Amino acid sequence: MVSYAKNKTKFSQLLPESIWLEAEDFEEAVKISKRVTDEAHQWQIYLNSLALIGFERWVKQRYPDLSVNRDSCSLFESVNMTEAVCNLKVGEFKVCLLVVEELGDKVLVPKVVVDLPDLVGHFYVVVEVLEEEERVILRGFLQYDELVNARSAVNLEAGGEGGYQLPLSLFDSEMNHLLFYSRYLAPSAILLPVDSGNTSEIDNHTENTPQIDDYSSNTPGIDKETENRSQMDDSQAELRPSLVKQVINVALWLGGEIDELTRNLGWGLPAPLVAAAASGFRYTQSFDTAIAQLRERGINIPPQASGNCRKIYLGEIHLEILAGIWALPPTSDESIPRWSLLLILGRESGGFLPKGIRLQVKDINSVLYNKVLETDDCYMVVRLSANLDEQFTATIELQGKELELGTFAFNPNQIPGTIQTNWSGFRSI
């Protein structure tokens, strides 16, 4: 999931995004609402229309080059009876507007916009419509995976109103973050359920100290016999992305940067592997507990280490992997610079990983790490080290399906076109 720290300050102390409505906006909303004759539903569609118009204006005012497409918007379907506007496209992302007329401490999230794949969005935005004041206010947003996790964490059930009551404090009140994500992330960074509706079961997180395996590219192969296992059939091979020539230069992460390839593969923005004391978003935040436990066990993860996360959907299971990297200091008997790669694989919703999952890491010569999980564990962890001219390729296999994550390389001298994390107008990590 794409993670960030929530601002716990009361919303009355913040400066929310307010958009003033014009006379023609009300005329357009009335025209849209006349599609139905039921007065109660007509009023809701009227409010939804004002929310949509206000949100579109806000995006255009803040970033004119960011596209907003309402062509597939649920507001214009034959039936729209929810307090939400779904299937609005902002850039490449699906946005769902949660429309409220009187905002309290909780926000009603209609059950259908969370559980139906056709209606889910990457982001859910709370829009308060103040019709008499002729304005709308954007109160905050939440991404899909965090909404689902929050629902599971507090064991929410759909109430009598056909929706989930979520605390307003869960939503990120810094709307600039939404623009940031829409401009610089790939949609694959936030996984949505497939059309079949067969989403993975969400478990409550169970604390489990991660077990780490250490390997160097100079060590002999591990479990070499597994290299001779039967090859995947042609249909399975087609499911595996071909990343042979796609090398991820992780050295850029130390400077808070990523290249276009890394972005397109679904990785987020890198962040230091330290718990953030200040508010802001960090994509590695969901692994804070695992990293803290590793440090408590004496595993050396230096303060200058940086990490990045990628969400994975494999074998109908939502997974997440962290890749942490750092340069190793030279030793007395070793003048060649070296670097270290830390991989932590977990389940996106927390809880135990599925038994039978395989994590494999190899260099150009041999398999360095190849483990099939046979016990109840929340994480699979491996730390590797290599010379600067050596690379690692990681692969995950589950239920006969295999995903190659790409090849990790550490080249501090190669600086291609990058995407920086500290953009003007946005809160830095």
pLDDT digits (tens, 9 = 90+) for 13-28: 345 688 999 999 899 9
Measured in degrees and rounded to the nearest 5, phi and psi for residue 354 equal -70, 135
Start-end of CATH 3.40.1350 domains in the chain: 4-189
Q: Which residues contact 263 (CB under 8 A, 6 or more apart)?
A: 184, 185, 186, 419
Q: Which residues contact 198 (CB under 8 A, 6 or more apart)?
A: 316
Please report where in the chains the tokens 């500290």 appear, as a residue: 422
Mean pLDDT value of segment 155-160: 52
Residue-level pLDDT at 8:
35
Does an H or E element contain 239, and which? helix 234-239
pLDDT of residue 193: 78
The helix/strand/coil state of 359 is strand
Task: Please report, for residues 49, 51, 54, 84, the alpha-carbon distance to residue 130 in angstroms, rounded to integers and kept in the order given.
Answer: 13, 10, 11, 16
Checking DSSP bridges between strand 93-100 and strand 123-130, what pairing results, if any? Answer: parallel
Which residues have a Cβ under 8 Å from the Cβ of 48 and sit 6 or more positions away?
75, 80, 83, 84, 85, 97, 99
Q: Which two tokens stand for residue 240?
A: 């595996």
Looking at domain 4-189, its CATH architecture is 3-Layer(aba) Sandwich (3.40)
Eight-class DSSP state of 366: S
Q: What tokens were used for 408?
A: 């990790």
Q: Phi, psi (5° rounding) for residue 13?
A: -95, 0
Check residue 210 and give its pLDDT. 65
pLDDT of 392 > 90? The answer is: yes
CA-to-CA distance for 1 and 153, rounded, in angstroms? 15
As a whole number, the mean pLDDT across the chain is: 76
Residue type, 220: P
Task: Give dist(CA 396, CA 225) in Å, integer.
Answer: 17
- 140: confidence class by pLDDT, cuts 50, 70, 90: very high
Position 211 scores a pLDDT of 62
Q: For residue 226, how many other CB atoms are within 10 A of its CB?
A: 14
Q: What is the pLDDT of residue 320?
A: 92
Largest CA distance in the chain: 83
Residue 81's nearest CA partner among 110, 104, 106 is 110
* Mean pLDDT across 102-124: 88
What percent of the chain shows pLDDT beyond 90? 28
Residue count of the chain, please give it.
429
Among candidate residues 239, 266, 231, 229, the one with its CA nearest the CA of residue 401: 239
pTM for the model stands at 0.48
Residue bearing tokens 């623009």: 179
Distance, C-alpha 422 to centroid of its chain: 18
Name the residue with higher pLDDT: 188 or 178. 178
- Among 180-189, 190-199, 316-325, top mean pLDDT goes to 316-325
Contact status, residue 193 vs residue 138, Cβ threshold 8 Å = no
Is the model more confident about 310 or about 316?
A: 310
